[in-house]
Amino acid sequence: MKAILVYEPGGPEALTLADIPVPQPGPKEALVKIAAIGVNFIDIYFRSGLYKADLPISIGQEAAGTVEAVGAEVTGFAPGDRVAYAMARGSYAEYQSVPAAMLVKLPDTVPFESAAAAMLQGMTAHYLTHSTFPLKEGDTTLVHAAAGGTGLLIVQMAKMRGARVIGTTSTEDKAQLALAAGADEMILYTKQDFETESRRLTGGRGVDVVYDSVGASTFEKSLDCLRPRGMMVTFGNASGAVPATQPLALSQKGSLFLTRPTLMHYTLERKELLWRANDVLGWVGSGKLKVRVHQTYPLAEAAQAQIDLAGRGTSGKLLLKP
């Protein structure tokens, strides 16, 4: 089968299309024939070496497809089942053996492409808005990269929970996408200072929570957008890792809370995984949650997909097709 491997961490050129044997499912695993693959910043972090892994590095964290075979001790799944999953590295491939505990059955109303676009980013948006800082009626949030794949989902879920959403993005076209998803106000950070605008839009009070996937270029100023005892949620490194922060700075800026969450720690039990995944897929299937696919690439063009994602010229999700 074809799969993307990294033999030495580096730039996009490090992504190698390799011929490797089709894996066999071990105990408690299912072999999935992959139909659609999600492209995420975490894939770039593994490719570049920011996140460490044994060589050769398999790439990809999310996909949807059909169960081809199951290993011993697998219950609840059988060949022919339509499934999706996230956080099982190695999805840039035609087949993958996945722990059955990480699989979720797809509703008939959800195509493979929508599932692959929604699993990782959708569950991320879910834990951010429902658990890390559980938004409620009357809260105000600042969402960076509001027209990105995760950003558009955060905006929609925040509105489901009754929050006011202020988003940031780089262009007017992207701002219109976020507004169409439900954002109340948009800040063009290329033309406006997002700290000044956030303060103006909240009457000087500051926002209750910042959801920030951008990282280094937005982190410090985002702290100054928060109300006293507000929460800074930094969950990505699109512009690089955030700088070191002294705890004393949090007290000086208003006794702020700071967290750096990951999806893994918000899906520790299968019950929690199913809660998040079934909410997301159910909303997608009913049309309540809109998933925007920006572009789909052949598996062999994984490097170009990552270049486009890192270039931040895209809006919505990028997919690969085996």
Question: Is 58 strand, coil or helix?
Answer: strand
- Measured CA to CA, the distance from residue 315 to residue 177 in angstroms comes to 8
| Res 313: pLDDT | 72
Tokens of 107: 């509703």
Q: What is the mean pLDDT of residues 166-176?
A: 94
* Nearest by Cα to 227 from 246, 201, 255: 255
For 131-168, give the DSSP string: IIS---TT-EEEETTTTBHHHHHHHHHHHHTT-EEEEE
User: Phi and psi dihedrals of 91, rounded to 5?
Assistant: -80, -10
Q: What is the mean pLDDT of residues 247-263?
A: 96
| pLDDT score of 243 more than 90 | no
Tokens of 88: 């099982």
Cβ neighbours for 100, distance < 8 A, ≥ 6 positions apart: 28, 29, 30, 70, 74, 75, 76, 77
CB burial class (10 A; 0-12, 13-18, 19+) of residue 224? Answer: middle
Instruction: Please give the radius of gyration of the chain, using alpha carbons only, rounded to the nearest integer.
Output: 20
Asked if 103 contacts 30 with a C-beta cutoff of 8 angstroms, the reply is yes
Tokens of 127: 């834990």
Say which DSSP state 266 is in: G
Q: What is the mean pLDDT of residues 140-158?
A: 95
CA–chain centroid gap for 38, Å, is 9
Asked if 183 contacts 143 with a C-beta cutoff of 8 angstroms, the reply is yes
Question: What does pTM read for this prediction?
Answer: 0.92
Max intra-chain CA distance, the chain: 60
Confidence of residue 215 (pLDDT cuts 50, 70, 90): confident
Confidence of residue 138 (pLDDT cuts 50, 70, 90): very high
* Domains of the chain with bracketed CATH: 2-119+264-321 (3.90.180.10), 137-260 (3.40.50.720)
How many angstroms separate the Cα of 189 from the Cα of each of 83, 119, 168, 217, 232? 39, 28, 6, 11, 18
- Measured CA to CA, the distance from residue 297 to residue 162 in angstroms comes to 36
What's the pLDDT tens digit per position in 81-135? 999 999 999 999 999 999 999 999 999 999 999 999 999 999 999 999 999 999 9
Question: Is 294 strand, coil or helix?
Answer: strand
Other Cβ atoms less than 10 A from the Cβ of 109: the count is: 12
| pLDDT mean across residues, the chain | 95
* Nearest by Cα to 229 from 197, 260, 251, 199: 251
How many residues does this entry show for the chain?
322
The residues with which 76 forms a beta bridge, in sequence order, are none
Confidence of residue 217 (pLDDT cuts 50, 70, 90): confident
Asked if 140 contacts 164 with a C-beta cutoff of 8 angstroms, the reply is yes
